[in-house]
Amino acid sequence: SAMRAWGLWVRAGLRGKGEASARGEPARGFVLAAVLGLPAALPPGERSELRRAGLGHLVAVSGMNVAVAALLLRAPLLRLGLLLGGSTALACALTWLPVAAYVGLTGAAAPAVRAAVMFTLVQVGVLVGRPAHGMTSLALAAAVLLAWWPAWARDPGFHLSLAAMAALLRPVGPGESQPGLIAQSWQVTWATAPIGVWHF
């Protein structure tokens, strides 16, 4: 697709610039690797150390990166859009476009695209005045991704991303309190463990 091709082209240019700017600067290299998913910005020794420690995912752009970017951008850009035109549609477009650009810039991996699609569904909910339903949004996002790029049906990142989100969005029963951060981490770990064993 055009977005994926554009992202890969820009990413190739960024990889070269990232390697050049991070040479001799390990901290800068780690930031570039973690924010833009450019592990080549890290020296080979550090990449190997991260992999051995089981922390290789820190330098791969995931749905979490997109979610953090969306949360940071959403409130100020919504305000800006409302100030510029007073239109909710303009405000939502202003918050959606940078997120879509970021996903393309990082190479449009399945987990990042899944997060962007779910963010878009939240924005659509704002426009129509209805809150988005988590599990429904996840199912719709999965269907959109597979329709757009059917090969993702075999992608480990796609499987792990869906399983992690399903664990986080699991409906809470009557009288049951929302799990805390540690409990959520354990739920995600157990939900994704069988997929990790299967693929890796």
CB 28 within 8 A of CB 73: no
If you count DSSP H runs as helices and E runs as strands, how many of each does the chain have, helices first?
Answer: 9, 0
CB 20 within 8 A of CB 41: no
**Pick from 83-87, 115-119, 154-158, 162-166: least confident:** 83-87
Instruction: Compute, in degrees rounded to 10, the torsion defined by CA atoms 132, 136, 142, 143.
Output: -110
Structure tokens of 181?
């951060």
pLDDT tens-digit profile of 145-162? Answer: 999 889 999 999 899 999
5: how many CB neighbours lie within 10 A of its CB? Answer: 11
**Which one, of 50, 64, 69, lies nearest residue 164 by Cα?**
64
Report pTM.
Answer: 0.73
Q: Tell me, what DSSP letter sits at residue 131?
A: P
pLDDT tens-digit profile of 20-74? Answer: 665 667 677 777 777 776 666 677 777 777 777 766 666 667 787 788 888 887 7
d(CA 21, CA 8): 19
**Which one, of 73, 60, 69, 70, lies nearest residue 11 by Cα?**
60
